Amino acid sequence: MLDYYQALHDLLTQNIPSLKKQTVSLQEADCLILAENLTVQYDTPFFSNSAMDGYALGGDIDTCQEWKIIHRIAAGDTAQSMTLKTGEAARIFTGAPIPEGTTAVIQQENTEVNDSILTLTSPVKKGQNIRYQAEELKKGDVFLSSGQYITPAVIALLASQGYAQIPVFKPLTIYVFSTGNELINPGETLSAGQIYDANRYLLLSWLKQTPHQIIDAGTLPDNKEATEQALSNASQKADIIITSGGVSVGEEDHVHAAITKLGKLTLWKLAIKPGKPFAWGEIDKATVFMLPGNPVSTFVTFQQLVVPALKRLSGIALEHCMPKAVMAKTTFSTKKTQSRKEFLRVQLQPSATGLYVKLLSHQGSAMLSAFTQADALAEIPENTLVHENDYIKVYPLSYNFNA
Ligand SMILES: Nc1nc2c(c(=O)[nH]1)N[C@H]1C(S)=C(S)[C@@H](COP(=O)(O)OP(=O)(O)OC[C@H]3O[C@@H](n4cnc5c(N)ncnc54)[C@H](O)[C@@H]3O)O[C@H]1N2
Ligand code: MOO
């Protein structure tokens, strides 16, 4: 059985099929992925300006005792024809351009003004309260790289540089299947031996937060021919196929056999609990992720393996695809060791003495309820006993590509 981190490494370093590009308006770019390096069009700040409402002080500020106020400059004004010499000042407002010859800006709370003569009630240093031209971004430099996931912060930065049209990767098409004769849909009436499909709804709901086109491909019966036919058809249209169930070793588990026949099974069986039968492969150009049927196994393998791989396949830069973990102190201990790395549903409890991990009850791989209370997955390393107050790795749950 393959180690979790080895599997993650393999998934993230696979060949990424070349992604198509398109240009969208700034308003349509959120949650998409930048497809080109973008350069600074305008120095930021574009012109040196004041960080405070106050007074721009000219010339030598160390020896001068008082200043004559000779200009008034508001945001939106230009200061092109103005200069300040020693002993001269300008009334200035936040964001307004500073005049030539300004050595510092003093905020108005630290001043006194009588008949246009300004004195200071606090000392001021050279450069204080001046936001200098290009101190943040210099024209021509790359300020955002291809592979950047577009968050609201990125939208703001793009807007601040005047970008109205954004080159992005085209969304992918993702087919989501469930498998199993026992599955029916919510809204239908349960008969003996049946259960409601939870996994497909979980995956469809999560994937809605991505930029991709998501196809609800329904439920596959536990039948070899039907499974092969449906996966073969989907592979002609999909970039990615996600299935749940039917990947274990039973006679009714047809999914990995179908992938082996139609394409290539790259990976099967991981040393993790839950999620051991997780499999991955491809049919033609479509990448196929096969998640184990137990709903918690589906959830864990999706969060810990499929989401990082999906990010990469979507074009997000490799360094932003690894799931992010934090270290936190346990409030519980484990009684026996496991040969597989275990991912437990936990709550994170911040306190003055650090971040603590509380174990939720109902950890069985068929028990979904703890997930609704959980805000993280705690990693219990293989063959390891955990004691109270030990530091362990926890992976905060995320429901979009941003985390
Ligand atoms: N002899 C062995 N049996 C099993 C092994 C094993 O190694 N040897 N592994 C177990 C583990 S671990 C898991 S996990 C499951 C995974 O099996 P499958 O991926 O083949 O899943 P199914 O058998 O189809 O279903 C398992 C379980 O989950 C329920 N299920 C399936 N799909 C859904 C869905 N969409 N929504 C809600 N619940 C679903 C299904 O009814 C079963 O109860 O195999 C173990 N067996
Ligand atoms: O993935 Mo299986 O659930 O280890 O329960």
In a 13 Å sphere around the CA of 190, the CA atoms on its Cβ side amount to 9
Note whether 190 and 155 are same-domain residues. no
CATH of the domain at 14: 3.40.980.10
Question: From ligand 2's centre to the CA of 210, what distance in Å?
Answer: 27
Atom number in ligand 1 closest to CA 178: 35
Note whether 305 and 175 are same-domain residues. yes
Distance CA 347, CA 338 (A): 21
Please report whether residue 335 resides in a domain.
Answer: yes
Note whether 200 and 247 are same-domain residues. yes
Please report whether residue 333 resides in a domain.
Answer: yes
CATH of the domain at 159: 3.90.105.10
Distance CA 237, CA 172 (A): 10
Tokens linked to 150: 């577009």
pLDDT for residue 284: 95
Please report whether residue 137 resides in a domain.
Answer: no
- Mark which of 102, 131, 160 sits at the end of a domain: 131
Q: Please tell me what DSSP assigns to residue 44.
A: B
If phi > 0 it is left, if psi is from -120 to 50 it is alpha, else beta; for residue 255 that is alpha
pLDDT for residue 124: 95
Note whether 226 and 236 are same-domain residues. yes
Tokens linked to 287: 């990448």
Atom number in ligand 1 closest to CA 275: 14
Residues 6+ apart with CB under 8 A from 403: 324, 396
pLDDT for residue 192: 97
Q: Which residue, 23, 310, 27, 318, is CA-closest to 147?
A: 318
Distance CA 372, CA 301 (A): 16
Note whether 309 and 179 are same-domain residues. yes
Residues 6+ apart with CB under 8 A from 318: 12, 13, 147, 312
- Mark which of 265, 291, 320 sits at the end of a domain: 320
Measured from the CB, is residue 297 less than 6 Å from ligand 1? yes
Torsion, Cα 328 334 340 342, to 10 degrees, reads -40
pLDDT for residue 401: 87
ipTM of this complex > 0.95? yes
Reported pTM: 0.93
Q: Is 88 helix (H, G, I), strand (E, B) or coil?
A: strand
Please report whether residue 260 resides in a domain.
Answer: yes
Q: Which domain covers residue 258, as residue numbers?
A: 4-19+171-320
For the segment 26-75, what is each residue's pLDDT rounded down to a tens digit? 999 999 999 999 999 999 999 999 999 999 999 999 999 999 999 999 99
Residues 6+ apart with CB under 8 A from 330: 356, 357, 359, 378, 386, 387, 388, 389, 390, 391, 392
Note whether 118 and 155 are same-domain residues. no
pLDDT for residue 169: 98
Measured from the CB, is residue 301 less than 6 Å from ligand 1? no
Tally Cβ neighbours within 10 Å of residue 266: 16
Measured from the CB, is residue 298 less than 6 Å from ligand 1? no
Measured from the CB, is residue 263 less than 6 Å from ligand 1? no
Question: From ligand 2's centre to the CA of 293, what distance in Å?
Answer: 8
Q: Which amino acid is at 393?
A: K
Beta bridge partners of 173: 213
If phi > 0 it is left, if psi is from -120 to 50 it is alpha, else beta; for residue 354 that is left
Note whether 293 and 282 are same-domain residues. yes
Measured from the CB, is residue 248 less than 6 Å from ligand 1? yes
Note whether 302 and 330 are same-domain residues. no
Note whether 78 and 195 are same-domain residues. no
Note whether 213 and 306 are same-domain residues. yes
Note whether 292 and 354 are same-domain residues. no
Note whether 278 and 188 are same-domain residues. yes
Atom number in ligand 2 closest to CA 364: 5
Query: Tens of pLDDT along the chain (403 residues)?
Result: 999 999 999 999 987 878 999 999 999 999 999 999 999 999 999 999 999 999 999 999 999 999 999 999 999 999 998 999 999 999 999 999 999 999 999 999 999 999 999 999 999 999 999 999 999 999 999 999 999 999 999 999 999 999 999 999 999 999 999 999 999 999 999 999 999 999 999 999 999 999 999 999 999 999 999 999 999 999 999 999 999 999 988 787 899 899 999 999 998 889 999 999 999 999 999 999 999 999 999 999 999 999 999 999 999 999 999 999 999 999 999 999 999 999 999 999 999 999 999 999 999 999 999 999 999 999 999 999 999 999 999 999 998 888 7
Question: From ligand 1's centre to the CA of 14, what distance in Å?
Answer: 27
Please report whether residue 240 resides in a domain.
Answer: yes
**Could you give the number of structural domains in the chain?**
4
CATH of the domain at 358: 2.40.340.10
